[in-house]
A and B are shown apart, each in its own frame.
Chain A
Amino acid sequence: MTSRDSRSPHGVGQRVPLIDGPSKVTGTAVYTDDIRLPGTLVGKILRSPHAHAKIVSIDTSAAESMPGVRAVVTGSRDLRTFGVLPISKDEVALAVDKVIYVGDCVAGVAADDEETALAACEAIRVEYEPLPIVGKADDALKECPPEQKLHPDTRHPSNLQKQVDQNFGDVDAAFAGADHVAKGNFRFIGVTHAFTEPHCVIAHFEPTGRLTVWSATQVPHYLHRDLAAVMDLPMHRIRVIRPMVGGAFGGKSDPFPHEMITALLSRRTGRPVKIRFDREEVFLTNHGRHPTKTSIGVACDGDGKLLGLDLDALIDGGAWGSFGVVTTYYNGVLSVGPYRFDNFRYRGRRVYTNKPPCGAMRGHGAVNSRFAFEVLIDELAEKCGVDAAEFRLRNLLPSNTTTLNGFRITSNGTEECIRRVVEASDWKNKRGKLPYGRGIGIACGFYISGSALRINWNKVPQSTAHLKIDMDGGVTVHCMAAEIGQGSDTMLAQCVAEVLGLPIEWIRVFSRDSDLDPIDLGSYSSRVTFMAGNAARRAAEVIRGKLCAAAARLTGYDAEGFDTRDGHVVWLPNPAIRVPYLDALLEAIAGKGALIAKGCYHDAPPMGGSHKGAAAGLSPTYSFQSYVTETEVDPETGFVKPVKVWAAHDCGKALNPLAVEMQIEGCLHMGLGQALMESFGYNRATVGNPSFLDYKIPGPLEMPDVEVHIVESDDPEGPFGAKEAGEGPLLPILPSLANAVRDAVGITMYELPMTPDRVLKEIEKKERASAVREASEAANPKETVR
């Protein structure tokens, strides 16, 4: 469907400003910290100064006797452990017997005001007995006695949490028979989400014994489940509300200890308790992208046909499991597109270390391996004398196919993505032809659009939407899909506006209250547009049927001939026959009451292989990208300054091109941060730079010019053909920039971020090598013959 065909001025394909934008820019949006319940106590958390230590004793008596202190809670074996994945519920609300990272929660305090709460934290006496620190991923692999394991109950005799081994085809044979092989050892430091709004939560145990929790979360449902477990309450006794969220990017996609602590403090005091982090606490809570060592080999034949990929990732998980098992799979399996090859071996290992936990972050699991893969593809292309863009075109997966590991590929716009950016960037006249210090590079991406299988094995639909229209004609859409700034409320409104043919002002979205809004599993894995969009569309289609039936009754024409558009119910065979929307509505309501409908997205069709871990990475559809980046590299200072990015992304169908463009630009900015300067550094096991001054996020002055190309492959199962646009567009920016740096100054960057000192070092190394080469050639010309 093209935008001209849209039934609504704000329907599919229309550039619609986000419907919650005005409240944000006028300061009237209500974030969790804006909520002030009468009698709210201030909660604070006493955190561990040790990376690994036994807790010998905790004395809270002085704190508890301070005026204004209402409750102090500490860890207990009686509290259940929790965690977003059922297979790694290894987190505790408060440390029990030992602490395992600097920042680990040791005690919670509720007091009348912030000063008192902080003073009470200082008054708590904790005696620690330091344990050896597992600081590096390599150390975590070493066998150790159970007491030196962060999580003694895990099955490995070390701090290894999860190992994935997958093998398709015969990698060794493929490499042995290959004409060209490229190999590299890559190092990625951690990066973190750096969202604007710090974590904030309010918990209120009401006199009825019901618990209400307001939290800045992107996964209200998983919070709901784990609150039920930790507080030992049935889910119906808990209400979870997600107020406006000021950014998340995966950093609010776990149920967190502070949410449990707040609930415990409220249960103890009977009063509402609020915990709001300062920025340092956000850094300590982390759950950002894993520091990773990636060893990779890629092989091709003489014509540049990819033969195999051999991948190994050692993933530093920090103290907890979080999404880490998924991360471990994704580091491998999300490399099986967009290229076709027949041999693939992957070993992924995620380890526990005494550092703040890592978790899901935009582009979860795919970013680092993608970087390594795309950088080596350029090396291979060079080895076989094929242009880097052409090399990629020769190796693409087609549409409607299955990958070697059983992923079902349906819509696939990679080829168009490549062709568009190659043409727009004048690639053919620039690649290899720009002056020294200026270069151009290309890379592709591949990402899931929702996980085909749910995290918890049950029969609850992945997403459900309820619609209601009463006599005023306004449409209420209820769905717990978490609006976190990505525009999901607007997306839901547009889907409904499109089906009902109404302007968006008629649509109101309610997506925050578990008592009122039906379940959606949350905003992660780029699932919301695909799943919640389908749910909302299906609910709206039920209502449209009722409106058409009403119009048929009013006019005497057949219901099947009617459709909703532009505020009317129109008889398509003769559009002059039409009933105004409100007239049809009143007829539909008559004798029945408000129109109510529900729709859901339950599951993708059965898919996938039967090997171990076959479900990981299965998605109802995948997004594809290709970027060309042009950059300057200052050979004397090492500064990399990207100048322009041509960014093509296949999102199936841009429900809202404005929102898609914003997502692409946002992804690009975030990816550039990891590529150029962001570094979640450690001083031993302490976060080195827990502030926005020292954690360097690129500013507006660092942003290149961005030209977005939206490619629409019209997904057969997506709502109106749509699939994700929030994460995949992060993937190509890092390698396309690195490949541009290579084109500019002839160096390969195996380590991120590409800080100027590192780049300069590589340039100098290359210059030294070429000086030595020239000197030896000059001294002994025959030598060069070898």
Chain B
Amino acid sequence: MILAPFTLHRPESLAEALSLAAKLPDGGYDWIGGGTDLLQNYKNRLNAKDHVIALDRVPEMRGISAERIGAGERLAVISESAVVRERWPGLAEAITHVASPLIRNSGTLGGNLLVETRCYYFNQTPFWRGTKGSCMKAESDECLVVPQKEICYAAYSGDLAPILGVLSATLELASPAGTREVRIDEFYAGDGIRKNVKRADEIIVGVKVPAEASTLRAGYRKLRHRDALDYPEMGCAAALRLDPSGRIELLRAATTAVDVVPHFLDFSELMRGQEPDTAFAEVAAAMEERAQPKKNTSMPVGYRKKMVRVYLGRLLDDLRAGRTEGRIPAA
């Protein structure tokens, strides 16, 4: 496979990046972070653009602090950062679920949040699509998973949106029109093509994590065939705080890869004061209920849906007990 040809731009600042984009035709360019997702699609000739603007030299997108992670930071760096491990160990551990060490050395936080939605019929080579027919997310106007022409059912398959969502993180978006902040749990919307509320000319510059996040127990669990490389067949995150009597004070849950967007639900109000066992069962069931996987990944739909309850239930039990998966060796 040969990479689709494009002109690469490497701006040195956010302002330069934005003004460069403003000069290019709408829809005529892609932003690139680590490239581990985008270039694979370019090799498959999936919506490749003539211009690619690299963000690796934009200083505004760097830095890791107690409040903010630059969207251009590499996943491996974030996961290994002392600040992140101390304040948000669940995030550090969730990152170890992404792909493989090599890919995490290159992939960025912003890139992961914006990972292209995935579908059995979309993530294929040009030859394959020429054989089976192409879908509305590629060259045609029809969905091959659920035959119709309105909604693209490609699955949102990022690993980090759920954990950042339950930590109530916020995205800093910059565009020539200025900057704005959007909560992660309100960022994703639409379908497999429209995906989120980010406009094409916007960049995710950074991810802000509220101070409260470091007081929560939070984690991520992932269903997949192999414990590396694979995208989630289902992923779930939760954040938990119990009151001194051991009852629910805060409980948020999120899932990924079981719909065109990740699902986020804050159960805190509903469950406050409840016994964890009852609350956990209800939360896990509610998230399973909401899951709408389609037959476009490797594992069967019913199984992926069913596993929401099992994985989320186990995660919540682990959070209560203070157990991690042990994917990051203790310091």
Question: Which A residues are closer than 8 A to B by beta carbons?
Answer: 47, 49-50, 102, 114-115, 118, 278, 280, 636-638, 677, 683, 686, 688-690, 693-694, 696, 698-702, 755-757, 760
Q: Which residue of B lies closest to A641 (CB)?
A: B227
Could you mark each residue 215-242 of chain B with 1 if its beta carbon is under 8 Å from any beta carbon of chain A, else 0?
Answer: 0000000010111111100000000000
Query: Given A694-B298, A699-B228, do A47 and B127 touch, yes or no (CB 8 Å)?
Result: yes
Kindly identify which residue among B1, B223, B228, B310 contacts A278, using a CB–CB cutoff of 8 Å.
B1
- Are A686 and B226 touching (Cβ within 8 A)? no
Residues B279-307 near A (CB distance < 8 A)? 298-300, 302-303, 306-307
- Are A49 and B131 touching (Cβ within 8 A)? yes
B2 an interface residue at 8 Å Cβ cutoff?
yes
A677 to B310, CA, bound (A): 21
Since A689-B298, A701-B226 are in contact, a sample of 8 more A-B pairs with Cβ atoms closer than 8 Å, ordered by chain A residue number, is A115-B2, A280-B127, A637-B223, A637-B310, A638-B303, A686-B128, A696-B298, A757-B299
- Are A49 and B130 touching (Cβ within 8 A)? yes
Q: Which residue of B lies closest to A678 (CB)?
A: B225
- Are A696 and B230 touching (Cβ within 8 A)? yes
- 15 pairs of residues in contact across A and B, judged by CB atoms under 8 Å: A102-B131, A118-B2, A636-B310, A637-B307, A677-B226, A683-B132, A686-B128, A688-B120, A693-B230, A693-B231, A696-B230, A700-B228, A702-B226, A757-B300, A760-B303
Q: How far is the CB of A130 from chain B (nearest CB, A)?
A: 12
Q: Determine the chain B residues whose CB is within 8 A of the CB of A756 once the complex forms.
A: 299, 303
Kindly identify which residue among A280, A677, A700 contacts B125, using a CB–CB cutoff of 8 Å.
A280
User: Which of B130, B223, B300, B303 gathers the greatest number of chain A CB atoms within 10 Å?
Assistant: B303
Q: Which residue of B lies closest to A760 (CB)?
A: B303
A280 to B45, CA, bound (A): 15
A272 to B132, CA, bound (A): 35
Residues B252-267 near A (CB distance < 8 A)? none
Query: Given A118-B2, A637-B307, A694-B298, do A699 and B226 touch, yes or no (CB 8 Å)?
Result: yes
Q: Determine the chain A residues whose CB is within 8 A of the CB of B130 once the complex forms.
A: 49
Q: Which residue of A lies closest to B1 (CB)?
A: A278
- Are A696 and B225 touching (Cβ within 8 A)? yes
Could you mark each residue 151-165 of chain B with 1 if its beta carbon is under 8 Å from any beta carbon of chain A, else 0?
Answer: 000000000000000
Q: Determine the chain A residues whose CB is within 8 A of the CB of B311 once the complex forms.
A: 637
A289 to B89, CA, bound (A): 44
- Are B128 and A757 touching (Cβ within 8 A)? no
Q: How far is the CB of B94 from chain A (nearest CB, A)?
A: 17
- Are A49 and B127 touching (Cβ within 8 A)? yes
Q: How far is the CB of A692 from chain B (nearest CB, A)?
A: 8
Q: Determine the chain A residues whose CB is within 8 A of the CB of B310 once the complex forms.
A: 636-637
Q: Determine the chain A residues whose CB is within 8 A of the CB of B299 once the complex forms.
A: 755-757
A700 to B226, CA, bound (A): 9
A693 to B230, CA, bound (A): 7
User: Which of B120, B131, B226, B229 gathers the greatest number of chain A CB atoms within 10 Å?
Assistant: B131
A397 to B123, CA, bound (A): 51
A638 to B225, CA, bound (A): 11
Q: Determine the chain B residues whose CB is within 8 A of the CB of A686 once the complex forms.
A: 128, 131-132
Give how many B residues have a beta carbon under 8 Å from the other chain's beta carbons: 28
A756 to B303, CA, bound (A): 9
Q: Determine the chain B residues whose CB is within 8 A of the CB of A760 once the complex forms.
A: 303, 306
- Are B128 and A696 touching (Cβ within 8 A)? no
Q: Determine the chain B residues whose CB is within 8 A of the CB of A102 once the complex forms.
A: 131
Q: How far is the CB of B90 from chain A (nearest CB, A)?
A: 20
- Are A693 and B229 touching (Cβ within 8 A)? yes
Kindly identify which residue among A278, A699, A757 contacts B303, using a CB–CB cutoff of 8 Å.
A757
A114 to B43, CA, bound (A): 14
Q: Which residue of B lies closest to A118 (CB)?
A: B2
Q: Determine the chain B residues whose CB is within 8 A of the CB of A698 once the complex forms.
A: 226
A316 to B225, CA, bound (A): 26
A50 to B227, CA, bound (A): 36
A672 to B131, CA, bound (A): 31
Q: Which residue of A lies closest to B40 (CB)?
A: A693
Q: Which residue of A lies closest to B303 (CB)?
A: A757
Q: How far is the CB of A409 from chain B (nearest CB, A)?
A: 40
Query: Given A637-B310, A757-B300, do A280 and B2 touch, yes or no (CB 8 Å)?
Result: no
- Are B227 and A699 touching (Cβ within 8 A)? yes
Q: Which residue of B lies closest to A701 (CB)?
A: B227
* Pairs A-B, 3 closest by C-beta atoms: A757-B303, A701-B227, A49-B131
Q: Determine the chain A residues whose CB is within 8 A of the CB of B131 once the complex forms.
A: 49-50, 102, 686
- Are B303 and A696 touching (Cβ within 8 A)? no
User: Which of B120, B124, B298, B311 gathers the greatest number of chain A CB atoms within 10 Å?
Assistant: B298
A73 to B97, CA, bound (A): 48
Q: Determine the chain A residues whose CB is within 8 A of the CB of B124 once the complex forms.
A: 690
Kindly identify which residue among B128, B226, B298, B306 contacts A690, using a CB–CB cutoff of 8 Å.
B128
Q: How far is the CB of A45 from chain B (nearest CB, A)?
A: 11
Q: How far is the CB of A158 from chain B (nearest CB, A)?
A: 26
Q: Which residue of A lies closest to B125 (CB)?
A: A280
Q: Determine the chain B residues whose CB is within 8 A of the CB of A755 once the complex forms.
A: 225, 299
Q: How far is the CB of A669 from chain B (nearest CB, A)?
A: 13
Q: Determine the chain A residues whose CB is within 8 A of the CB of B228 once the complex forms.
A: 699-701
A758 to B158, CA, bound (A): 26
Query: Given A696-B298, A757-B300, do A114 and B2 touch, yes or no (CB 8 Å)?
Result: yes
Q: Which residue of A lies closest to B132 (CB)?
A: A686
Q: Which residue of B lies closest to A102 (CB)?
A: B131
Q: Determine the chain B residues whose CB is within 8 A of the CB of A689 once the complex forms.
A: 298
Q: How far is the CB of A618 from chain B (nearest CB, A)?
A: 40
- Are A702 and B227 touching (Cβ within 8 A)? yes
Q: Determine the chain A residues whose CB is within 8 A of the CB of B307 once the complex forms.
A: 637
A636 to B229, CA, bound (A): 23
A701 to B223, CA, bound (A): 15
User: Which of A49, A677, A757 gathers the greatest number of chain B CB atoms within 10 Å?
Assistant: A757
Q: How far is the CB of B174 from chain A (nearest CB, A)?
A: 32
A760 to B311, CA, bound (A): 14
Q: Determine the chain A residues whose CB is within 8 A of the CB of B128 once the complex forms.
A: 280, 686, 690
A61 to B125, CA, bound (A): 26
User: Which of A278, A688, A693 gathers the greatest number of chain B CB atoms within 10 Å?
Assistant: A693
Could you mark each residue 290-331 of chain B with 1 if its beta carbon is under 8 Å from any beta carbon of chain A, else 0?
Answer: 000000001110110011001100000000000000000000
A3 to B226, CA, bound (A): 40
A114 to B1, CA, bound (A): 10
Q: Determine the chain B residues whose CB is within 8 A of the CB of A114 once the complex forms.
A: 2
Query: Given A49-B127, A636-B310, A694-B298, do A677 and B303 touch, yes or no (CB 8 Å)?
Result: no
Query: Given A637-B310, A755-B299, do A699 and B229 touch, yes or no (CB 8 Å)?
Result: yes
Q: Determine the chain B residues whose CB is within 8 A of the CB of A683 once the complex forms.
A: 132
Q: How far is the CB of B324 from chain A (nearest CB, A)?
A: 17
User: Which of B130, B225, B298, B303 gathers the greatest number of chain A CB atoms within 10 Å?
Assistant: B225
A702 to B1, CA, bound (A): 29
A756 to B128, CA, bound (A): 28
Could you mark each residue 191-231 of chain B with 1 if its beta carbon is under 8 Å from any beta carbon of chain A, else 0?
Answer: 00000000000000000000000000000000101111111
A442 to B182, CA, bound (A): 57
A278 to B126, CA, bound (A): 13
